[in-house]
Structure 1
Amino acid sequence: MHPRDAPIHRTPPRGRARLAALVAAILLGLVGVAGTPAALADGEPDPATRWAVTPADESGRDGRSSLQHALDPGESLTEHIAVHNLGDRQETFRLSAADGFTTATGRFDMLASEEKSTDAGTWIDIAPEVTVDAGESVVVPLTITVPQQAEPGDHPAGVAASVLSTRSAGEDTSLGVESRVGVKVTTRVTGELAPAVGVGDVSATYDGSWNPFRPGEVTATFEVTNEGNARLSIAGTAAAGTGAAVFPAEGEQLGELLPGDAREVSVVIDGAWPAFRLPGRVHVAPEVAVLDGTSAELDAAEATFGVWALPLPQLLVLVALMLMAGAAIGGRRRSRRRLDALLDQAREEGRRSAGPTAPPARMPHRRPAPGGETGGEE
């Protein structure tokens, strides 16, 4: 049966408590919604229009956060999403599918309705709209059909339920606004996975501390490109001089890198002591996303860099120490010269106080007498 002709399953009314629990779970983001409606303004959806979209099976929401499958070229698969009307009136939602992509911040999104899809977004067939009563959920089937010529690897797409409205843009002018909530759809076409990653040139800056006894930090910025055909999770290490860091940092989310995507990554490297010119290295070792048990090994990529790190505080301390040492040595030399001058003065005063020196007394000379006897004085 064609998906547009397939029956749409309407979830029967539940108990009030169960419905309240479902609404609370959706509002808390536990249902894997890919986005939220745009901020409300004049002409945008009424505040009472609230909805969510989740992966589902034929009976309703099934707890998955996205739709992921590995399919052969030419293979088809029927999937389901559930559209939940969280408002207090009946709503008709437009349904659409489009190619997926990641933003510069790593968030997943899908092409706007006026943009033309050329890849996995064209593989999805879904009904054009669905009407959902207030507080109810409707399960909508969709079919994913992989073309025979599809290339192996990961192909991202998204399906969304949207509401159209108008916004005033000045005198006699209005703009159409589409507010969408969707689900991520990833199709891995079977065949040879060839993951590859590239690292661009690294630009780095050094931020030193004016405390000479504390190291500074290096900020290294570089671009990582997914040059293969499989989704990657970015991870690695960076070093500069005596500093080192891992990325992503704790609590940081870099998001997946889809095939063909490029993402700028900045890493702060602490503990780098300034030494005029610091050598640096970036080591990128991403992981290949596992899908239906299929994954592949991936070689790491590296890039080297250098950054100037002038040890100005340390040089100032060294100059101050040299000046202090020079002053101490000069002081010792001056003190010794004064001491030597005082000693010379004391010797000179001692000689003057002793007066003229008398010549030594002459001893009488005795001549020996004949026969060995000593004669008298001459």
Structure 2
Amino acid sequence: MTRFRSTTALAALVAVAGLAAGLAGAAPAVAEEAAPVSWSVTPADASGPDGRVAVEHEIDPAASVDDQFAVRNLGAEEVTFRLAAADGFTNDNGRFDILPSDQESVDSGTWITLPESVTVAPGGTAVVPFTITVPEDAQPGDHAAGITASILSTQQADGTGVGVESRVGFRVMTRVAGELAPAFSVQDVHADYRLSWNPLRPGSIDVVFDVANEGNARLAVAGVLTVAGRSIAFPAEGETPQEILPGESRTISLTVPRVWPLFAFPGEIALAPTVIDANGEPADAVPAEVAPSSTDVLVWAVPWPQLLVVAGLALLVLALLWRRGRSKRRIEALLTEAREEGRRSMAGVGQG
């Protein structure tokens, strides 16, 4: 029996079949061939790779655009690569990916026409033409797809043949001309205080929320969390803003360290997404703006360790006061008894 699985690497990377791990970001596949197969796939012009890492086009409905990509065979044997296009999405790791070959595309992955395969000599490069044709009824806005070149290999696992489809490719973004209507919402906000049970140490605040892209344009998300007198910007300095495709959402997790519990902290999540243009950059020329928004946050931070310490001290004081009162009453009882005994003794002497 043979089972199949697929691995994909996009953004014009190199894949190696026959190695336990590929180059950085590549999709490795362990194969039965004597010689490993390695290849790269990049956007190109007629002469070869042209420096692009993705294809970006703005196209009118019912119009088409011709483009090209290069498949380079880095191995020592001639290889026939299967070529395919499919709808794109962002995976759980925040990376762009495309649908596996056993799932049917329904959007811009179906707009791409290209050959079914290409054969490349060892060390050679083949330039492959493709066409993007936008349907007449396509909705305006951004549509994500990808083009891949793949091979199939087989490995044995516990006596079972496992088919591995290794795919390498690049992103194809199509912006259908028309009115852009960017929109977003903040959903599923969870704010928790992470308590330190050491009463001499502060805790931290964790805030997790989803940002959903409800419009038709790609958004780069940035903002600021303000809580407990602190401001945490996201993305952090040096990080790239998270990109959210139309119809997708992204989970953002933020931590505010070293916060002493003071029962409750009101706060705010301020978001200011930016529309990304057809080149993948924040666009001043895009005739659509996204109004910033804010969402209130309330974090309960009950100082249980400190309260337990206070309660323990209070009990200790009460115990000391009780013992002191008990000792005082005992002393008073002994003094009263001694006085009574003295009176009785004096009365006996007088009678004698």
Question: Shorter-normalised TM-score: what interval?
Answer: 0.7 to 0.9
Tell me how far apart the structure 2 counterparts of residues 34 and 231 of structure 1 sit (CA, whole Å): 27
Determine if contact 1:216/1:273 at 8 Å carries over to the other structure.
Answer: yes
Quote the offset at 1:152 in angstroms: 0.3
1:38 partner letter: P
Q: Verify: 1:37 aligned to 2:27, yes or no.
A: yes
Q: Verify: 1:199 aligned to 2:186, yes or no.
A: yes
Tell me how far apart the structure 2 counterparts of residues 46 and 282 of structure 1 sit (CA, whole Å): 56
Using a 3 Å threshold, how does the CA distance of structure 1 residues 97 and 67 change in structure 2: closer, same or farther? same
What is the aligned counterpart of 1:86 among 53, 74, 79? 74
Tell me how far apart the structure 2 counterparts of residues 315 and 92 of structure 1 sit (CA, whole Å): 71
- Higher mean C-alpha displacement, 174-183 vs 316-325: 316-325
Tell me how far apart the structure 2 counterparts of residues 111 and 176 of structure 1 sit (CA, whole Å): 18
Q: May I ask how many residue pairs the two structures share in their alignment?
A: 299
The answer for the alignment partner of 2:3 in structure 1 is: none
- Higher mean C-alpha displacement, 307-316 vs 260-269: 307-316
The answer for the alignment partner of 1:51 in structure 2 is: 39
1:38-68 CA distance string (max 9 Å, x none): 342x54x666200010111111111111000
Tell me, what secondary structure is at the counterpart of 1:140? Answer: strand
The answer for the alignment partner of 1:14 in structure 2 is: none
The answer for the alignment partner of 2:150 in structure 1 is: 162
The answer for the alignment partner of 2:111 in structure 1 is: 123
- After TM superposition, list the pairs within 5 Å mapping 1:1-378 onto structure 2: 36-40=26-30, 43=32, 48-171=36-159, 173-209=160-196, 215-250=202-237, 252=239, 255-291=242-278, 295=286, 296-315=288-307
Tell me how far apart the structure 2 counterparts of residues 310 and 92 of structure 1 sit (CA, whole Å): 65
1:96 partner letter: A
1:23-45 CA distance string (max 9 Å, x none): xx9769xxxx99623342x54x6
Using a 3 Å threshold, how does the CA distance of structure 1 residues 102 and 299 change in structure 2: closer, same or farther? same
Quote the offset at 1:82 in angstroms: 0.7
1:72 partner letter: D
Gaps of 5+ in 2: 1-11, 16-22, 319-352
Tell me, what secondary structure is at the counterpart of 1:202? Answer: strand
Tell me, what secondary structure is at the counterpart of 1:127? Answer: coil
Using a 3 Å threshold, how does the CA distance of structure 1 residues 253 and 208 change in structure 2: closer, same or farther? farther
Tell me, what secondary structure is at the counterpart of 1:122? Answer: helix
Gaps of 5+ in 1: 1-24, 327-378
Determine if contact 1:239/1:269 at 8 Å carries over to the other structure.
Answer: no
Using a 3 Å threshold, how does the CA distance of structure 1 residues 53 and 104 change in structure 2: closer, same or farther? same
Tell me, what secondary structure is at the counterpart of 2:188? Answer: coil
Quote the offset at 1:237 in angstroms: 1.2
Higher strand share: 2
Choose 1 or 2 for highest CA Rg: 1
- Higher mean C-alpha displacement, 243-252 vs 48-57: 243-252
Tell me how far apart the structure 1 counterparts of residues 101 and 119 of structure 2 sit (CA, whole Å): 20
% same residue: 49
Determine if contact 1:35/1:181 at 8 Å carries over to the other structure.
Answer: no
